[in-house]
Amino acid sequence: MYGAVRPVTDIFVLYNTSVTTIKMNNKILVCIFTCSTIFAGCAVNNQAFNGTTINISGDKNTELLIDSFVTSIDSILLQPNAIEHMGEVQDMCLSDSNAYILDKANSIWKFNMNTGLQEKKIKKTGHGHGEYINPTSICVDHDNVYVLDFQGSSIIVYDKNLDYKNRIQLEFPSIDFAKVPDGFLLCNMNPTNDLKRIVLIDEQGNVINSFLSTEMKEESMMTDRFFSKDDNGSVFFAEPASNIIYKWENGNVLPIYSIEFGKITNDKNASKANPLHGNMHIRSFVTSQYVITLYLSEFVLTNVYNEQKATSISGLVNTRLRHPFYPIAYYDGALYGIYDIQNDNKNMILIKYNIRPE
């Protein structure tokens, strides 16, 4: 009768074995999960980059002759009205024969690029109709001038004479943008899984789609300008604090260039955590022949990548002027920079670097 009953000690052994088995199973599961995660991570990190890698090797001891990629330099003295003063330039865009300049004093200027004369200036800060709080970016198309109000989370639309037309309200903060045929591409400063880093909106402000990882890699950035346009109007986006340049093509963002700084070892303090000493991508302009990249390696240096020859030249650009090479816009075969001649915010000069055709 009792023979059928399992002894207590046996039950304990069975119980202990089961517990051990469960514990072992858990360990195996944890191991499998960890390995899978590591492999998945490696797989993601090793995703093949199908674009072009631009290797940059020039340091502060290398001089880059401006003649090697620029045919000529034109300068135009910008002439604000007698009582007007221009603040430090925040952003600029060009259209036909006009330059639209947004300064850090929240003024928007329209200059004639042939004469340098001021055609109009507006400064409408406030919370009222047609006013903005903190504009950070400006762009233009055939019909309109668009100003991105960062703190106001909106795009303000003006006609070409800077007369207010309407406001496009945004659902997220954005510091830089570009006009595309479908609407606008914006850099979302609060990216989430639902609304990613690059957001495409229509002209009414409705979100159409969003792209790129949501990770903000670093809180220190070399610039707050991420978008650029080439000669064909194609839009490029350099992800903040990243060395990847994406192209907007067929309704998607495609990684097209990767910047590599492998050979620059001149600075022992080089560190991504310390941008004053690191080798960091500042911004890039894509032309029909070149990818012109500004980067920081103690000084602001320039790399010119020749697309056809697949070669790079880089170093400190000597402009032979009293102004360093630091373009802020590309339009119609030329790079443009604005400089304050006498540090008085009064005498500003627009320098046009005509890019050498291949």
Partner 1 sequence: MYIINILNNLFMKKKVIMLSCIAAVAIATFVGTKTFQSNAYENGLLAQNVEALCQGDFGYLGGDIGGRIGYSSMHITCYKRVYYGSSGYQLVPSGCSATCWQNPNSSSGCHSHSCSSCCSGGY
Contact stretch for partner 1 (CB under 8 A) within 29-37, 94-102, 222-230, 304-312: 222-230
Of residues 80 and 135, the one with the C-beta less far from partner 1: 135
Sheet holding 334-340, edge to edge: 70-78, 348-355, 334-340, 329-331
Residue 18 binding partner 1, by CB under 8 A: no
The minimum distance between CB 55 and partner 1, in angstroms, equals 22
Q: What is the rounded distance in angstroms from the CA atom of residue 235 to the CA atom of residue 57? A: 26
The C-alpha angle 41, 243, 93, rounded to 5 degrees, equals 140
Q: What is the rounded distance in angstroms from the CA atom of residue 307 to the CA atom of residue 291? A: 7
330 in Cβ contact with 229 (< 8 Å): yes
Name the residue among 183, 214, 209 with its Cα closest to residue 197. Answer: 214
Q: Which residue from 131, 182, 267, 307 is in contact with partner 1, where contact means CB under 8 A?
A: 131
Query: Left if phi > 0, otherwise alpha if psi is -120 to 50, otherwise beta: which for 21?
Result: alpha
Residue 206 binding partner 1, by CB under 8 A: no
Of residues 328 and 334, the one with the C-beta less far from partner 1: 328
Of residues 113 and 294, the one with the C-beta less far from partner 1: 294
CB atoms within 10 A of CB 122: 17
Residue 273 binding partner 1, by CB under 8 A: yes
Residue 313 binding partner 1, by CB under 8 A: no
Residue 51 binding partner 1, by CB under 8 A: no
Residue 298 binding partner 1, by CB under 8 A: yes
β-pairing verdict for 244-249 and 235-238: antiparallel
Contact stretch for partner 1 (CB under 8 A) within 19-27, 93-101, 188-196, 348-356: 188-196
Strand locations in 261-319, DSSP E?
279-286, 290-297, 299-306, 311-318
Residue 15 binding partner 1, by CB under 8 A: no
Residue 34 binding partner 1, by CB under 8 A: no
The minimum distance between CB 53 and partner 1, in angstroms, equals 25
β-pairing verdict for 348-355 and 70-78: antiparallel
Q: What is the rounded distance in angstroms from the CA atom of residue 67 to the CA atom of residue 47? A: 38
How many residues sit in the footprint of partner 1 (CB under 8 A)? 48
Of residues 88 and 358, the one with the C-beta less far from partner 1: 88
Which positions touch partner 1 (CB under 8 A)?
Answer: 60, 63, 127-129, 131-133, 149-154, 167, 169, 173, 175, 189-190, 192, 216, 219-224, 240, 271, 273-277, 296, 298-300, 316, 318-324, 326
